[in-house]
Amino acid sequence: MTTPNETNPTTETLDIWALVELMGHQKIAGRVTEKTLAGAPFLQVDVPDGEGKPAYTRLYAPGAIYCINPIAQQIAIGWAKAHKPAPVQIYDLRQLAADKPIDSTDSDPEVDGRYS
């Protein structure tokens, strides 16, 4: 990878298929690219779909990454299908409403302690 400087202002852009090893002995496989958010660099991992599980994207700060292993696309897809953790789940408001009905005239449930 090339680093930018005054004599060489260009830099390579990361766009590979890889198995990314994270601190805490976690691994994730997919298409890996770079992303800048709020001026900070992040690694974006696009995990492919398969085996009835939806595709999803995760962003990691460089400090969370232990190792990046470039691998072939088919190997990354196969690994992701076999080892894919569940993506972040959407909060299920229907279940919450079934457990503790909400009256629209009530005050803020966080304020009155209903969900504490």
* Spatial distance between the Cα atoms of 48 and 78, rounded to a whole number of angstroms: 9
Structure tokens at 56: 């999803």
Of 39, 41, 38, 31, the C-alpha closest to 68 is 31
Domain ranges of the chain: 15-87
Give residue 51's identity as a one-letter amino acid code: E
pLDDT of 1-57, one tens digit each? 445 545 555 567 899 999 999 988 889 999 999 999 999 999 999 998 866 667 889
pTM: 0.63
Torsion of CA 46, 47, 48, 49, to 10 degrees: -130
Fold of 15-87: SH3 type barrels. (2.30.30)
- In this predicted structure, the answer to whether residue 107 has a pLDDT above a threshold of 80 is no
Q: For Cα atoms 10, 15, 19, give the angle at the middle one, nearest 5 degrees.
A: 135
Distances in Å between the Cα of 110 and the Cα atoms of 33, 90, 92, 102, 116 are: 39, 19, 17, 12, 7
